[in-house]
Chain A
Amino acid sequence: MTPALETQMLVKRFGGLIVTNEVSLSVRPGARHALIGPNGAGKTTLINLLTGALTPSGGRILLSGEDITDTTPFARVRKGIARTFQINQLFNDLTPLESVMLAVGERMGHGSRLFRPLFADRTVSEEAAALLERFRLADVMCLPTRDLPYGKQRLLEIALAIALQPKVLLLDEPAAGVPEEDRHEVLAIVRALPSDVTVLLIEHDMDLVFSFADRISVLAAGRLFAEGTVEEISGDPQVKAIYLGDAA
């Protein structure tokens, strides 16, 4: 079966520093694939390469077998890649409603409508409201995003990506920084993601990784170090040594 997402010998250098080192990763359609690794391993950089935020120094990226190495970030989104950010990238003075409507509207190609008022776009506003309700954001959807509690902002991060109805979803530490009492909300949303969406999850929380993932790749110092099922990775002594040892 053609992988939903594949990298071939992907390399990224920052000057002399090799941050992504000949990474060949393959993610099966519909997978729950986790990418773990210590701080500075190059996980976020890999996502930046996959989404086109960074240009690779070498190698190829394939989406359902199609080479997308040289396409623009927004073209990749239209082809079905969406991501969330490790550090919130939200529109602080727009409301969650407007932000999600923006995502839904762009997906439907309404973004170049100049003279139609936003409120007249009922298909978009209804879909946005339904999505916000699913993400438990309905009660705050008309407030400026900057006034939302941090946990809610993290939910909005994911909602914006889901609103694009992606084929492949890249989640960069979705629960990072969320206070303990709000974590379950974020985790529940991640667990309840539509099963036809291929998910690549970066996460330090091993409980989440082991309960969520059906496959795990381990990145260390820019290299793919190990890959396998939950049992294989959690039982691998070397993985334990470089990663689980100090995390657990």
Chain B
Amino acid sequence: MSAPHSQIAAAFLRRKAAWTPLEAGLWCLALAAAFLFPSQQLLLSEIAILALFALSLDLIVGYAGILSLGHAAFFGVGAYTAGLFSLHVSAEPLTGLAVSAVVAGLLGLATSFLVLRGSDLTRLMTTFGVSMLLAEGANQAAWLTGGADGLSGILLEPIAGTFEFDLWGRTGYLYCLAVLFILLLVARRIVHSPFGLSLKAIKRNSRRAAMLGIAPNRRIVIIYTISALYAGMAGALLTQTTSFVSPDVLAFHRSADVLLVLVLGGVGYLYGGIVGAVIFTLLRAWLSVVTPQYWMFWIGLILVALVVIGRDRLHPARAIALVRSRLPGRAGEKAVPLSEDSR
């Protein structure tokens, strides 16, 4: 009659990690955008890069519970590495991307020890401090970074020797989208793994996690390093699609913006960064036309509204999940929280 419990368990776990139609639709739309909006490819690239940056932040904020106000450190280091690499070593974009990832990842590994202990506030301050150190360092080391002028004249070869960057930026957008897609697949795999589950446990209840024998430090070092790697690649993509690095890549507002993007889109379900990046970039583009001076005001207002009203009630994905769970005969799916932090 009813299936054995081990089969029910396996089916449940499989369903929880499965692709949803919503997810698939989003990617189709993102791909279609490359052809539907030929004049907006630069804006689309910007969205994809911001989405990747916010995804990298989600890995530590949403899954490990580590707040950062200095995530631009890794973004900026990735951006500078990509610029320097293409100027001095090789102008092949994929190699540059990989090298930037490694350099940012190493920086993440080296600084991860600063976020192992302490409260949210101390973590905010140490991450903020690290990014300020780097920003000032980049500014001072003008011989390497070009100082306040940044790095320009970055010319890139075709990607993998085949795909030429075009004037309209379509290759650039497709390149960013492909990187975002692959890294999202990897992140998806990580959060649905035993390792990902242990991160959730550490974030939700560290006392019990310790009593299950989970040593948290190594897990946090690993996810922080991966997150830094992701952020570094986002920075590298910015350099490669704009052929330019300015000191702005390390600026404080970047760290603040990406946190804002993540909060806009929702923390802890992987797509928050993408949703947030779309909303944030389109809103900024639109508001800066409508009310050029006051667009920050409106963004601020939306942020406050989100926090006060509660994102759960505004969040489209969450709302769909809620409606779905209320439909009769689908009680089993009630257990699929789209936004894990909905407490």
User: Who on chain A is nearest to B204 by CB?
Assistant: A91
Q: Are B9 and A97 in contact (CB under 8 A)?
A: yes
Kindly list chain B residues whose C-beta atoms are within 8 Å of the C-beta of A53.
Answer: 207, 210-211
Which among A14-22, A138-146, A185-193, A198-206 touches the partner chain?
A138-146
Q: Of A74, A78, A85, A122, which is in contact with the most chain B CB atoms at under 10 Å from its CB? A: A74
User: Who on chain B is nearest to A53 by CB?
Assistant: B207
A183 within 8 Å of B (CB atoms): no
Which among B145-153, B236-244, B335-343 touches the partner chain?
B335-343
B134 within 8 Å of A (CB atoms): no
Min CB gap B20→A, angstroms: 16
User: Who on chain B is nearest to A114 by CB?
Assistant: B195
CB-CB contacts below 8 Å: A76-103 with B? 77-78, 82-83, 85, 89-95, 97-99, 101-103
User: Who on chain A is nearest to B207 by CB?
Assistant: A89
Which among A5-13, A34-42, A123-131, A213-221 touches the partner chain?
A123-131
Q: Given the complex of chains A and B, what is the CA–CA distance between A130 and B12 in angstroms? A: 15
**Given contact pairs A91-B205, A115-B189, A102 touches B212 in the complex (Cβ within 8 A):** yes
**Given contact pairs A74-B210, A160-B212, A142 touches B204 in the complex (Cβ within 8 A):** no
Q: Are B212 and A129 in contact (CB under 8 A)?
A: no
* Interface size grouping (class) on chain A: 35 or more
Kindly list chain A residues whose C-beta atoms are within 8 Å of the C-beta of B192.
Answer: 117-119
Q: Of B8, B17, B335, B340, which is in contact with the most chain A CB atoms at under 10 Å from its CB? A: B335
Min CB gap A39→B, angstroms: 22
The 18 sampled A-B contact pairs (Cβ below 8 Å) are A72-B210, A73-B211, A77-B210, A89-B208, A89-B211, A92-B343, A94-B204, A112-B194, A115-B186, A117-B192, A118-B197, A119-B14, A141-B9, A141-B12, A142-B12, A144-B335, A144-B337, A164-B213
With contacts A93-B340, A138-B5, A164-B213 known, what are 12 further pairs, Cβ within 8 A?
A51-B211, A73-B210, A74-B210, A77-B212, A85-B208, A91-B208, A114-B193, A119-B10, A121-B194, A128-B9, A130-B6, A142-B9
B interface residues, Cβ below 8 angstroms from A: 4-6, 8-10, 12-14, 16-17, 186, 189-190, 192-198, 200-201, 204-205, 207-208, 210-215, 218-219, 222, 332, 334-335, 337, 340, 342-343
A interface residues, Cβ below 8 angstroms from B: 51, 53, 72-75, 77-78, 82-83, 85, 89-95, 97-99, 101-103, 105-107, 110-119, 121-122, 124-126, 128-130, 132-133, 138, 141-144, 160-161, 164
